[in-house]
Structure 1
Amino acid sequence: MPKRELTEAEKKHTKIALRLAIFFACLILIDFLLISIFFSWRDWVAVFVFSLLFIVPGYISNAAMVIVGGGKPIDGGRTFRDGRRILGDNKTWSGLIKGPLYIGIPISIGLFCLLLVLWPNIVNVPMTGIKNNHYKIYNDIVYYQYYFIGGSFPFGFLSIIIRIVLCSYGAALGDLVGSFLKRRFDVESGAPFWVIDQLDFAVFAILFVSIPAFIFPNLFWVPDIYMIILLLILTPSVSIIANTVAYIGGLKDVPW
C-alpha cells in the first residue's frame, strides 16, 4: 500500500526524525565505547541491563496509558492563560490511573517475580565475571541483587514493588508534564515534540524512584551517573529509531 503524500510540515519533521535517529544511534555507540575503554564492555552491558530493569515499569505504564485512556480529560476542557488547552483531550483520568494500575504495575511485578525465581541461575553470570575481575564498576554482587531482586528477600522484593509503583506513576505524571509543555509551545496533539516527547516520562520516573533513596538509603539507591546518562540516551533512541525504521520499511506513514 503506497504511503500518503506528506505535508510540508510532515516532510520537515521526517528529516528531523532521520537525523535524530542517526544522532542517537551514534550516542549509544559513543557511550558504549567510552565505558568499554575506561572500564570494560561488560560494565556497559551491566549498565544497560540495570537501566532496563529500572525503567521498564515506566515504559510499560507510558504505553498502557494510551491503551486504557479515554473518557473525561484531566483538564476538564479548561484552557491556560495563553488561551490553549492545559493538557488536551488525550490526557484522561482513566489513562493516568488505570494505565499504571491495571497494566504497568501488574506486568512489572510479574516480570520481577520471574526474575526472583530465576535468580539462582542468573546470579552465576555476574558472579563468574566478578571472580574473574571482568567488571571495573559493578564488581560487587549487591548491584545485581538490587536491580534484579531488590536485595534480601522479603524486604528486597518489597522495595522492588515500591520502585515499580513510583516508576510507573512517575512516568505517567512526566507524560502529563510533556503534554503541558506541548500545549504551551502550541504543538498539536499527535504532532512530534522531539526529544521532550520521549524524555518527559523517563526524567520523572528517575526523580520519583530516587525520592525514597533519601529517606531509606539502606533500601533504595539513586541511579548512578552511568545509568542516568544511558537512560537519557536510550529512552528517546528506542522510540525515534524504532519509528524511523518502521517508516523506512513502509510500516508507518510518518516516523513518529
Structure 2
Amino acid sequence: MDPTIISVFSLSVYAIYFMLPAYLANVTALTFGGGAPLDFKRNFADGRRIFGDGVTWRGTIIGTLIGGGVGLLQGLIMSNPVQGCILGLFLGGGALIGDAAGSFIKRRLKIERGRPAPLLDQLDFAIGALIFASLIVTIPSNLIITILIITIFLHLGANMIAYLLGMKKVWY
C-alpha cells in the first residue's frame, strides 16, 4: 500500500482521537443540556439574545466534565492521566465556548436557533476546542487542517443519524 495513504489514514485516526473530548463534549451538551441558558435570557446591544436558549449552563458544565473524563481515560492509556484530563477539559470546554460563540454570531446575523449556517455550524466548536487546546499544547498545522476537514463530515453524519433517530428536528 502507498505510504502516503497510510500516513493520511494515520493522521486522520489521530485527529479523531485527539478531538474525542471535544466531540463527546459537544454531543453531551446537546443530549444533557436544558435548564438555565448561559446568557440568562439577556439581550445584546442589538436587542437580540446573546446566545439563545440552546446554550445552557447544564450542557456547558456536563459537556466540559465529559471532555475532562474522556481526556482522563486517554491520559491513562498514554500514562499521563493528569495531562490527559487537563487537555480534555480544555478541548471540551473550548468546544462548548466555540459553540456558544457560533450561536452569538448566528444571532448577530439574524439566523434563528435551529436554522442552518453552513460551516459555522460544523466548525465553531472545533475551532473553539483547538484555540483552547493550543494554550497548553502545540498543535501542528497539518493536524489542524485534518481536524477541520474531518469535523465537517463527522458533524453532518452525526446530525443526520440524530435526525433519523428522532433526536433532532433537522438533519443539519
Secondary structure of 1:82 counterpart: coil
Q: How far 1:108 moved relative to its partner?
A: 4.1
2:67 is equivalent to residue 104 of structure 1: yes
Partner of 2:149: 233
Partner of 1:21: none
Secondary structure of 1:170 counterpart: helix
Kept in 2: contact 1:61–1:99 (CA 8 A):
yes
Partner of 2:124: 200
Call closer, same or farther: CA 1:109–1:157 in 2, change over 3 Å.
closer
2:37 is equivalent to residue 69 of structure 1: no
CA-to-partner distance for each residue in 1:1-32, whole Å, 9 max, x for gaps?
xxxxxxxxxxxxxxxxxxxxxxxxxxxxxxxx
2:171 is equivalent to residue 171 of structure 1: no
From 83, 104, 113, the counterpart of 1:159? 83
Moved more, 55-64 or 42-51: 42-51
Q: How far 1:254 moved relative to its partner?
A: 4.1
Give 1 or 2 for the bigger CA radius of gyration.
1
Tell me which amino acid in the other structure corresponds to 2:30.
V
Report the TM-score when normalising by structure 1.
Answer: 0.60
Q: How far 1:177 moved relative to its partner?
A: 0.3
Kept in 2: contact 1:199–1:235 (CA 8 A):
yes
Q: Which aligned pairs between 1:216-231 and structure 2 lie closer than 5 A? A: 222-231=138-147
The CA distance in 2 between the partners of 1:235 and 1:45, in whole Å, is: 15
2:17 is equivalent to residue 49 of structure 1: no
Instruction: Report sequence identity in percent.
Output: 36
The CA distance in 2 between the partners of 1:197 and 1:254, in whole Å, is: 13
Q: How far 1:237 moved relative to its partner?
A: 1.3
Call closer, same or farther: CA 1:48–1:246 in 2, change over 3 Å.
same
Secondary structure of 2:134 counterpart: helix
Unpaired runs of 5+ residues, structure 1, are: 1-35, 117-148, 214-221
Partner of 2:106: 182
The CA distance in 1 between the partners of 2:28 and 2:170, in whole Å, is: 22
